[in-house]
Amino acid sequence: MEMVVFLYFAGVIVTTAGLVVALKNPVYSALALLVMFFHVAGLFVTLHAEFLAIIQVLVYAGAILVLYLFVVMLLNLKREEHFHHQWLVGLFLGFVLFAEAALLLLKGHATLGKTEAPAQLAQGNTESIGELLYSTYLFPFEVASLILLVAMVGAVILTKKGIMEVKS
């Protein structure tokens, strides 16, 4: 049963990821990515990471993708006719990397069974992550807030008219 669920999620994720790259219209690409985000969230639920599943839906599907769609609609793009002229090189590079990964997987013995039942089940997933986040990872957490602040200021400055214009 677990295998069937995993194969469903994995199949949809890989298919929609391929669609994101293959579709010509950016709006359709973004919508394919939306489906992929939901299925990644489903995969997280099967891995007992419920908090991250919710965050995935809220942040990725709710915030990031809406931002993408806004920009796509704002720019009113015409569709792109061809791939990059280096697409053969790109495909070749991807194939080589895939072959390397497959070789490594086949050579190594990828047996990492469940070590023990996750000990955090006494508490909920969210509580455990919160405790870890506010004790062990407190400093990275604060740095993350700084990153968000910098990104916010940067986005405002980059898009504001009259600051970045070339004086000519």
Distance CA 124, CA 113 (A): 23
Choosing from 107, 139, 162, 164, the residue that interacts with other proteins (CB under 8 A) is: 164
Q: What is the per-residue burial (b if ≥16 Cβ within 10 Å, else e) of 75-93?
A: eeeeeeeeeeeeeeeeeee
The pair of three-digit structure tokens given for residue 91, joined into one six-digit string: 């495909």
Q: Toward other proteins, which CB reaches closer, 93 or 167?
A: 93
What is residue 61's DSSP assignment?
A: I
> What minimum distance in Å lies between the beta carbon of 156 and other proteins?
8
Residue numbers 74-133 binding other proteins by CB under 8 A: 74-75, 77, 80, 82-84, 86-87, 89-91, 93-94, 97-98, 101, 105, 110-120, 125, 128-129, 132-133
Distance CA 140, CA 133 (A): 9
Choosing from 38, 42, 44, 61, the residue that interacts with other proteins (CB under 8 A) is: 44
Q: Does 49 bind other proteins (CB under 8 A)?
A: yes
Q: Does 155 bind other proteins (CB under 8 A)?
A: yes
Neighbours of 46 (CB within 10 A): 12
Task: Show the site string, 2-21: x = touches other proteins by CB under 8 A, - = not.
Answer: xx--x---x--xx--xx-xx
CB of 35 within 8 A of CB of 8?
no
Q: Does 138 bind other proteins (CB under 8 A)?
A: no
Choosing from 8, 54, 61, 72, the residue that interacts with other proteins (CB under 8 A) is: 72
